[in-house]
Structure 1
């Protein structure tokens, strides 16, 4: 099934050129040659430094144009989507940024079209007197050596590392063309990348029937960045199982057909790069990173960890793992540069907009042994009082309230799916389950059930920790205010509780929310209950008022929260849909008071 829709652009619009126009519009430090789709840095003085040029097909952004900037590329040239630029375009980049004396390095991904076109330009440029070196990047391990004998490995996310290292290296005006280009080749020879994706990418303007999308419970391992197929995985594997399999293919000497780079799992230093292939959310990308770190097969931690969208395939919902063996650079390099130089080049800041992985000082990485610290909140003392209630009775009422809420959770979730974002029931259930667990397992909680202040304070903590969103905040503020208004009481009775509840609502919660009766929120249950109890001191009447308030929400238009964006007709469907938060609160009140 198709991945995603695309916006409809103007007929015959060259969207590759349009995106380059957008790139230079947002970056005052670069310029564009529209006819040749060449982006370049006008401020880099290539009469004094080696020029670094790259390029290839579009669809891999921020590669290549996004990497034009200080301490990175001097120029980049773009072809059409997934197609190599022409020799004319590439030559335009050479003539714009290359100096015949200082020389030029061209970085090209190992794809037939790119290698042919960039190689031809390199030879043509040499015939015109330019001093040119070509560094070809091939880091993929998905295709074995038997299949790769003729063409070699594909260029994937490791290309970004080669760009970054050579970009910083060529910024040194004393750098030697031969030595820097050799560094690029040594880095490439010690790169391995494996990719995984839930699906292929969808190409703007291309008919969907031309693309073979995966089934709902199917993924791919080792796919290319131009919709080249990989190995089908069905069902979608657990993330840890997948990552372990990827590491096996990346570094295991047992897989002789894919063993491109030697790794000493005990002693080698290395760089880890996690690449978003295009459609993975930032949240999931960092979740994946943490799982990768937990499953690293090395004894040493990475010297550097880089995470971002480096080399994409439009909107493909996948990621790739790249490893750079630093120790091999010391072992196999020609002593022009060592691994410390490479790390320094990776740490060098750049203003290129595509390099989104923040560079940090080396000392931060060296001192990053313990990433977790203890919370200053963990030793917070429990607030207690001399007030007393009957603990067994209170616990029974509390458990009844929480169980009543949990029974109502499916109904609440259903209502919220129709008129909200669908998480109200789950949020309330999370709070209820957290309190029930504490009642069972937390000895301190159990020991203080006779103290209403200590009990409410602990419940407030549990609500804050387990419930997110607006409802969690409202419950927490109200309970905190209730604790404050009960602290100075001399005894717990109907009068004291009624007064404390009233103050907690009107002088506490209402300071922080404009929600009132009629706004279609949980306040439509809470305020009638508290106000009626305060006026009558009759619990049965107060529960009935809460029930009526909850029922009235069926015909109300929401004034607050996400539900305020839903049309009133949606509420009135099926005889009226009550506010989910109001239903949840009434379930608690009903269960606690046993008025069922």
Structure 2
């Protein structure tokens, strides 16, 4: 495993202070004290409400500074990366925002350094006349009771839920210091969180030798947010296997070591929070969400689903799952009802780190309805044209299999001159068609009608192939299909005429790519021109091959390859051909070769 790269900053620069300055530049609603690394909300009137302060080490952004704003934190103080702020910094935050009469709640994650520093400040502040309560967040279930009797559970993504609920609750006119602190503790007592990651995170300024990375085909379950190790699982499970394992650790009463919160899976109301540990793409995070929601063991759906990067571990490629038991809270002695707690979560905020949108309770109660496509029932295109169905199927299969055989080579070429997806895109289209042929259904019945067959192939290509290749193939096949319907019989001559019109009156209306531009057109155009002029299939195939080979020496004028240094095209012996041209040639040659019986 290699160390992830970090930007090089100015020598001697404090990356945490620069981060906070950047946040302040983008958020006119906050102010910054650079010397103490404090972000605070100058507009919150803490003479009229309880003050809410939090903080801890950097590296967990948007926690903590990103949560300063209306209906959230009044101030946040940051330490260095993965290190607690000093007592001096924390005291400065208290004195910046706290009102002695209304009081202050300090929210701190359960780590030794944080507890010591924030706890000491709480005692010092009390000695100076401030009324302070400490709320400790400890929601991790990966740490068992016997494993760590002295320190206990760590504070993880559940911290964000405590911030948001208390941040809105302090604005309740009946709220006082005691009720807010008690609410925070009861919320914490009903939180469970566990994380999973493909790897640890790298830390700016540290070398690869200082970090124990996770091996290939291995994941970690229950790791901490400061690169603390978890339980390694090898080989890597499927996402469904992983999610079910995480649910057991979060919810199973049989695990006495980690069963911290009771959940009645049949009756309880709950909130689900899915947290990005920092390096998981939005595409994958929402895909993980779909698996989590589909596999939920509860009879009821969640009252809220919150998805974002709440509490990160720099760029760790993982996620965590948090459950908050609302029903348990409603049975406690806190003065706030379940509906109020949901309102606190829903209350809008201008804090940039809180990214979930606000919806009404009525909207959340609605069931998700997946809507049928308006294209579900489409008329079947047919014609009077006839071909030998068996021979056509053999040629089609041979063509597609030849393309699949060439896919690794096409992908290799595209990693050099493009973005590496050309082979995969073409293979997706080929596999979609082959899969439909295996079903032995309506598609097989259409094979004697070239128009009906081409209509189905065009649909499959549109559904399975993305990117530029998918668009070009779809446009050309659609135009070819329309032109087929103008002929009474299908011969080499009529096919050549249809192919020619489909290219010049169809595809060329939507792309400027022509021969010499280093695209698949360098294969297609010579094939179509030669077939139209000669009515000779062998000559047309040879022209297509020559056109494809010529791309090795061409400069790219279109597509992503046009942004690549042309010297890359010569990395292979004899030069790198255009991947799209190679793929199309494989299809043409495969279809026109004598098919195996």
What TM-score, normalized by structure 2, do the two folds share? 0.95
CA distance in 2, matches of 1:100, 1:429: 68
CA distance in 1, matches of 2:79, 2:380: 65
SS at structure 2 position matched to 1:454: helix
CA gap 1:352/1:246 in 2 versus in 1, 3 angstroms: same
Give the deviation of 1:494 after TM superposition.
Answer: 4.1
Match for residue 204 of structure 2? 204
- What's the CA shift string for 1:393-443, capped at 9, x where partnerless? 333332332233233333323332333333322222221222122223152
Give the deviation of 1:383 after TM superposition.
Answer: 2.0
The 5-angstrom pairing of residues 87-126 of structure 1 reads 87-126=87-126
CA distance in 2, matches of 1:179, 1:19: 34
CA gap 1:564/1:298 in 2 versus in 1, 3 angstroms: same
Match for residue 297 of structure 1? 297
1:541 corresponds to 2:539 = yes
Match for residue 250 of structure 1? 250
- What's the CA shift string for 1:551-589, capped at 9, x where partnerless? 111111222222223333332330122212111111211
CA distance in 2, matches of 1:418, 1:206: 32
Query: Structure 1 unaligned runs (5+)?
Result: none
Match for residue 23 of structure 1? 23
CA distance in 1, matches of 2:405, 2:206: 49
Give the deviation of 1:156 after TM superposition.
Answer: 0.7
1:419 corresponds to 2:417 = yes
SS at structure 2 position matched to 1:350: coil
Match for residue 34 of structure 1? 34
Match for residue 561 of structure 1? 559
Match for residue 167 of structure 2? 167
Query: Structure 2 unaligned runs (5+)?
Result: none
Give the deviation of 1:155 after TM superposition.
Answer: 0.8
Give the deviation of 1:67 after TM superposition.
Answer: 0.2
1:446 corresponds to 2:444 = yes
How many equivalent pairs are there?
A: 594
1:487 corresponds to 2:485 = yes
CA distance in 1, matches of 2:276, 2:224: 13
CA distance in 2, matches of 1:314, 1:112: 20
Match for residue 315 of structure 1? 315
CA distance in 1, matches of 2:466, 2:28: 41
CA distance in 2, matches of 1:400, 1:557: 32
Match for residue 328 of structure 1? 328
- 8 Å contact from structure 1 (residues 194, 322) kept in 2: yes
The 5-angstrom pairing of residues 225-244 of structure 1 reads 225-244=225-244
Match for residue 193 of structure 1? 193
- What's the CA shift string for 1:435-471, capped at 9, x where partnerless? 1222231522222223322221111001111112211
1:381 to 379, 382, 392: 379
SS at structure 2 position matched to 1:35: helix
Give the deviation of 1:225 after TM superposition.
Answer: 1.4
- What's the CA shift string for 1:255-293, capped at 9, x where partnerless? 111111111121111111111112222222222222222
CA distance in 1, matches of 2:436, 2:148: 59
Match for residue 132 of structure 2? 132
CA distance in 1, matches of 2:15, 2:26: 16
- What's the CA shift string for 1:267-325, capped at 9, x where partnerless? 11111111111222222222222222233222222111111111111122221111111
CA distance in 2, matches of 1:393, 1:202: 58
CA gap 1:409/1:2 in 2 versus in 1, 3 angstroms: closer
Give the deviation of 1:516 after TM superposition.
Answer: 0.6
- What's the CA shift string for 1:493-551, capped at 9, x where partnerless? 44433222112111111111111100111100100111122222222222221121111
Larger displacement relative to structure 2 (561-570 or 545-554): 561-570
Match for residue 587 of structure 2? 588
- 8 Å contact from structure 1 (residues 3, 199) kept in 2: no
- 8 Å contact from structure 1 (residues 50, 173) kept in 2: no
CA distance in 2, matches of 1:408, 1:334: 68
Match for residue 458 of structure 1? 456
- 8 Å contact from structure 2 (residues 417, 564) kept in 1: yes
- 8 Å contact from structure 2 (residues 183, 334) kept in 1: no
CA distance in 2, matches of 1:302, 1:19: 35
- 8 Å contact from structure 1 (residues 109, 137) kept in 2: yes
SS at structure 2 position matched to 1:166: helix
Larger displacement relative to structure 2 (211-220 or 306-315): 211-220
What TM-score, normalized by structure 1, do the two folds share? 0.95
Larger displacement relative to structure 2 (157-166 or 9-18): 9-18
CA distance in 2, matches of 1:559, 1:442: 43
Give the deviation of 1:474 after TM superposition.
Answer: 0.5
2:499 to 501, 510, 517: 501
Larger displacement relative to structure 2 (301-310 or 572-581): 572-581
CA distance in 1, matches of 2:187, 2:163: 10
CA distance in 2, matches of 1:206, 1:406: 44
Give the RMSD, CA atoms, in angstroms.
Answer: 1.9
Larger displacement relative to structure 2 (222-231 or 503-512): 222-231
CA distance in 1, matches of 2:131, 2:242: 45
CA distance in 2, matches of 1:262, 1:145: 16
